[in-house]
Amino acid sequence: MSYKFVKNIGRNHSSRSSYGYGSGIVGITIHHWGSDGQKHANVVSWLRGYTGNRGSSAHYVVSDGLVTQIVEDSRASWHGGNNKANGTTIGIECRPEMSAGDWATLVELCVNLERKHGSMKYYGHKDWKNTACPGDYYPRLGELVDAVNEYKKSGKVPSTTGGGSSSGGGSGKREYETVAYGITLGLWDKGDPVRDWQDFLVSQGYDLGDGGVDGYFGTDTEEPTKAFQKKHGLVPDGLAGDKTIDKAEELGLEWKRKPKKSKPSKSKANLTVDGKWGESTTKALQKILGTPVDGEVSFQPVAYRDENPGLLSGWEWTKNPHSSNVIEALQEKLGVTADGRIGPNTIKALQRKLGTGVDGVVSNPSAMVKQLQRNLNAGKLW
């Protein structure tokens, strides 16, 4: 990778931004940062200190030859205006000018992210909410997918005249994965798998610099990895992927720190059974359904707000409804149309499932919500 990488994790990203990904990272959402002429450092400074209502921002800021990380990949980030976008995609803020250098840097970053997380689907911010963002990048999302796949084959960004396809969605086969952990070890990774890899490099006589075996895959680990690959006739990309790991295991690499599997525990809540559906009830429901846990039900039809007085704090009502992760997951469990929007049909199905009166309305208080709260307190849905 030819760009300069800077880590600039803000102290504000330790509270509401720390809720985990519901079903893993599956995509990348492209943004642009407002008007032309703004400096990279100014955007980084603003995003780093941004708290807003959710306490987070995009994961990366990209301009010509420079990538700054604002939020760790493993943390969900309020960047898409929609729980599904925030909980399952990595947000990248790009320079609206979109020079050739900006484009090349974006492609390289996406390649690195795919090598870390597997093949991605690509979205624009406007796929998640009513916005003009990401501007000129949006009609080139399909071209971005092609450029990423081409880079993985040839090691360089293909020349382009602009335009490209408007269709999104990652289509490339995942090319790199380790035997023991199912991931690629590369720049910015950290933890026990990296320590095991570093132990192996030291055993082979490679110098890891001042950091030594510290569990962080920086350039002082990347360079010895490349040297190992060159020595054994492998592509010197600095990534500990399947072929590199196979060769290392032949030479004695051991995964000494592989984590033990633990049995999943029931997520019991401690809710007040009051029949009022607020943030606490939503959080408990999100935990048991495995969706991002933030206590919010986003982008719900404002037409249903007054009809359902029992839906209180954490419900976001809008004239431009989209989809909420937790409602969509609940609908799938109920066997109704999974559009991620609350409404009479979903409420009736939930009332039938919970054995309460069926009228399609969440009153205040609601017998249906009381039963749901009791179930969540017992660590179950039904």
Whole-angstrom distance, CA of residue 321 vs CA of residue 339: 10
Mind listing the pLDDT tens digit for each residue in 225-247?
A: 999 999 999 888 787 877 888 89
Q: What is the pTM assigned to this prediction? A: 0.45
The DSSP secondary-structure symbol of 213 reads: S
State whether the Cα torsion 236-240-246-248 is positive or negative: positive
What end-to-end distance do the CA atoms of the chain give, in Å?
50
The proportion of the chain whose per-residue pLDDT surpasses 90, expressed as a percent, equals 34
Q: Identify the H or E element spanning 318.
A: strand 315-318
* CA dist 20 → 72, 89, 245, 260, 294 (Å): 11, 12, 29, 20, 10
252 touches 200 (CB < 8 A): yes
Whole-angstrom distance, CA of residue 332 vs CA of residue 291: 13
The proportion of the chain whose per-residue pLDDT surpasses 70, expressed as a percent, equals 81
The DSSP secondary-structure symbol of 316 reads: E
For the chain, what percentages of helix, strand and coil (3-state, to nearest 5) are there?
A: 35, 10, 50
Does 172 score more than 80 pLDDT? no
Determine the pLDDT at residue 259. Answer: 52
Domains along the sequence of the chain with CATH: 4-154 (3.40.80.10), 176-260 (1.10.101.10), 279-377 (no CATH)
Q: Quickly state the pLDDT bin for 326 (edges 50, 70, 90).
A: confident
Determine the pLDDT at residue 23. Answer: 47
Mind listing the pLDDT tens digit for each residue in 258-295?
A: 655 444 445 688 999 999 999 999 999 988 887 777 78
Q: Give the helix ranges, DSSP H, for the chain.
A: 40-49, 83-88, 100-117, 141-154, 192-203, 219-231, 242-250, 279-289, 325-334, 344-354, 367-377
Mind listing the pLDDT tens digit for each residue in 22-71?
A: 447 888 999 998 766 778 888 887 776 553 334 457 889 999 889 988 88
**Mean pLDDT in the chain?**
79
Least confident of 45-49, 108-112, 120-124, 370-374: 45-49
